[in-house]
Amino acid sequence: MKKYLLFALLIPAILFAGCQKSGQAAGPKAKFKIGLAFDVGGRGDKSFNDSAYNGLKLIAQQYKGFIKDDPDNVNFGTDVEIKYLEPKQGGQDREQLLRVLAEGGYNLIFAVGFMYTDSVVKVAKDFPKVHFALIDGYTPNLDASSNITCLSFAADQSSFLVGALSGLMVADKPKDKVGFIGGMDMPLIHDFQAGYIAGAAYVNPRLRKPGMILSQYIGKDPSAFNDPKTAASIADTMYKQGAYVIYHAAGGSGTGLFEEAKVNGKYAIGVDSDQGYGYMTNDKDPAAKEIGKYIVTSALKRVDEAVLLTAKGLIETGTVAGGYKTFSLADDGVGIAQNDFNKDQLAPYMTKLDDLKAKIISGDIKVPTNDQEAADFVKALK
C-alpha cells in the first residue's frame, strides 16, 4: 500500500517537472505583451533600431516588464512581456515577423521603418484585435478606431538645428563647406536634407552659394541604410572637397562616416539616437571613444519616447488610439543631443540654437520638408 501511495505522489511531481522543462509552466502570465520588429541592420545599428530598443527598455523599467530572450537580460518584473525580432539582411521576411508576433499573442506590435508599411496593412487586416504601430510609415484613411497608428517625426526640425550648428561651426572658416549624406534616395530622407540645408544657410550667408553644401545619397534601395563602406567613401570625398562637418541620415551606414571623420580629422553629426554618447561610453571597443570625439552631436528622433508613450496608452488605458501621431520640437519628440562629452563643444552655440528652436515652435521659422521648399527657403534669405 505504501508503494502505491508513494507512486501516486510522485506522478504529479514528475509531470510538473516535465512541464517546467518544456516551458509550459513559465511562471505568472504577463498582463500585456508587446512586440517589435526591427528594420534592416537590426539591433546594434547605433541609430534608428537602437533608439527603438531603448524604448523597449524604458517600458520594462517603468512598467515592471522583461525583454524575452534578450542577451542583456533586461528584467524588471513579469507584468509586461516584451519581445523583438530582427529581419534578414534584405528585409524580405518583414511580413512574416509581424505574423509571428501577432500569432504569439502580442497585444501591441511596433514595426520599425517605412518599409513595413505594406506588411502592416496586410497583417493588421488578419489580426483586427492586435494593434500595430508603424514607425516612419504612412497609410491613408486611418481614424481613432483603426488598429494601426502611424508614428512620425518632424525630422526637418531637428535637421534644421544641426544644419544651423554646422553653419555656425564654419562661420570663421571662409573656405570650409558642410555636407549631408543620405541613405536611400527617397522623400523621407530628403526631409532631413531640406531641413539641414535650410538651417546651415539661415545662419551662414556664405553657405547660400552653390557648391558650399555638399550632398549625396548612398543608394536607391533599403540596403543603403546598411552600407558603411559606401558611406565612408562618400565622406572621404566630401572631406577632401572641403567639408568641415558632415551630417548623415543613413541609419547603420553612418558608422562609415564616423570612421572617416576620425581619419580626416574633421567632424560628423549623427542621427536618430545620441550616437556620439554611444561611442564615448563603449568600453568594449577601444577604438570607439577615439571615433566618438569627432561626433559633435546628433539630430535626435525620439523613437524611444514614441515607443514608450504608445505602450503607455495600452498599459494604462487598455487601448491604443489609431490614426496618426507626429512628434516634434514642441513635445521634445525631436531635438539635438547634449551629453557630458559634447556639452563644452556645443556651449558656444546653444544660445543661438535655443533661439532658433523657439522660433520654429512658434512658427516664426517654417522649416522646408522637400528639395523645392529648401531651394525657395534659401532664395528668400538673399
Q: Where are the domains of the chain?
A: 32-154+304-329, 155-300+334-381
The values of phi and psi at residue 271, to 5°, are -145, 155
Average pLDDT, the chain: 91
32-154+304-329 and 155-300+334-381 share one CATH topology?
A: yes
Q: Taking a C-beta distance cutoff of 8 angstroms, is the pair 67, 74 a contact? A: yes
* Number of other CB atoms surrounding residue 160 within 10 Å: 34
Q: How confident is the model at residue 239 (pLDDT cuts 50, 70, 90)?
A: very high
pLDDT at 117: 96
Q: Thinking of the domain 155-300+334-381, which architecture would CATH place it in?
A: 3-Layer(aba) Sandwich (3.40)
Note the pLDDT tens digit of each residue in 172-181: 999 999 999 9
* Number of other CB atoms surrounding residue 128 within 10 Å: 9
DSSP 205: G
Q: Taking a C-beta distance cutoff of 8 angstroms, is the pair 307, 55 a contact? A: yes
Q: Taking a C-beta distance cutoff of 8 angstroms, is the pair 246, 235 a contact? A: yes
Residues with Cβ within 8 Å of residue 311, at least 6 apart in sequence: 34, 55, 59, 63, 80, 108
**For residues 3-36, b (16+ Cβ closer than 10 Å) or e, as one string?**
eeeeeeeeeeeeeeeeeeeeeeeeeeebebbbbb
Average pLDDT over residues 26-54: 84
Higher pLDDT, 332 or 81: 81
Q: Is the domain 32-154+304-329 a CATH 3.40.50.2300 member?
A: yes
* Number of other CB atoms surrounding residue 241 within 10 Å: 11
Location of C-alpha cell 549631408: 180
Give the torsion through C-alpha atoms of 372, 267, 352, 171, to 10 deg.
-80
Q: How confident is the model at residue 28 (pLDDT cuts 50, 70, 90)?
A: low
Higher pLDDT, 21 or 269: 269
- The CA–CA distances, whole Å, from 342 to 111, 305, 329 equal 32, 22, 20
The values of phi and psi at residue 190, to 5°, are -65, -25
- Among 153, 152, 79, 147, which residue's Cα sits nearest to residue 320? 147
Q: How many residues are given for the chain? A: 382
Average pLDDT over residues 126-131: 97
Residue type at position 240:
K
Burial label for 211, CB within 10 Å (0-12, 13-18, 19+), is: exposed
**CA-to-CA distance for 206 and 195, rounded, in angstroms?**
17
Average pLDDT over residues 24-29: 48
In this structure, of 46-50, 82-86, 264-268, the range with the lowest mean pLDDT score is 46-50
Burial label for 347, CB within 10 Å (0-12, 13-18, 19+), is: exposed
